[in-house]
Amino acid sequence: MKHVAVILSGCGVYDGSEIYEAVITLLSIRQQGATYQCFAPDKDQLHVINHLTGDTEPGATRNVLTESARIARGDIKPVTECKPEDFDALILPGGFGAAKNLCTFAVDGANSQPDTEVLNVCKAFAQAKKPAGYACIAPALAASVYGNNTNMTIGNDCEAAQGLNALGAQHVDCPVDEIVIDSEARLVTTPAYMLAEDILQAHAGLSKLVETVLSMD
């Protein structure tokens, strides 16, 4: 039975992990007969967004690991405890937290800087040739992990695609229900809610991503 490491970035599309994407990912892993362990960085979020109004809450702080624990039902560990030798694959759901808390792409674009602890883990998986899946905006982090013109997608947003290319990736336009595979890097990406207009569309691409990642030997 394969075991998958899943890195979350908080709880909520605007400042953390996209909850539907995270749940679809975890469910798809189990439906494929695999198991998972969730991780997240133990640090404050970039900021806190009121998900009812879309406004930033001045002075509010939330911890990424604590918030991610909401999705993981408390079964989560600091990302520093994530070791490639303990897992068969790595998957990162999207949500703006991936571009705000796992790296600075949401603020810095082409000058994005990855969180050091998260980068170390993701690079360790890449160097160990473990298959990985990055969904939605999470390829903004994957660009810093892989570089080398590795093929990946965030859908078809021109500005975001240019940012990924500037970070060393090779963006490939992709419809919502499909995936992009870079066989050499053993990397799978899908647009998810970068393009999805409902949960069914998000599920179509994410389930393909999980199935493909787990099929890589």
According to the model, what pLDDT value does residue 165 have? 97
Find the catalytic residue in 11, 136, 158, 174.
136
Task: Quote the tokens at residue 106.
Answer: 């949401």
217 pLDDT tier (thresholds 50, 70, 90): confident
pLDDT surpassing 90 at residue 166: yes
Mean pLDDT of 116-132: 98
| Tens of pLDDT, residues 140-151 | 999 999 999 999
According to the model, what pLDDT value does residue 4 have? 98
| Tens of pLDDT, residues 68-121 | 999 999 999 999 999 999 999 999 999 999 999 999 999 999 999 999 999 999
pLDDT surpassing 90 at residue 34: yes
- Amino acid 117 reads E
pTM to 2 decimal places? 0.98
Mean pLDDT of 126-137: 98
136 tagged catalytic: yes
122 pLDDT tier (thresholds 50, 70, 90): very high
| Tens of pLDDT, residues 180-205 | 999 999 999 999 999 999 999 999 99
Provide the CATH number for the domain formed by 3-134+196-215 in this structure. Answer: 3.40.50.880
Percent of the chain past pLDDT 90, that is, above it, reads: 100
Nearest to 5 by CA among 94, 101, 76, 99: 76
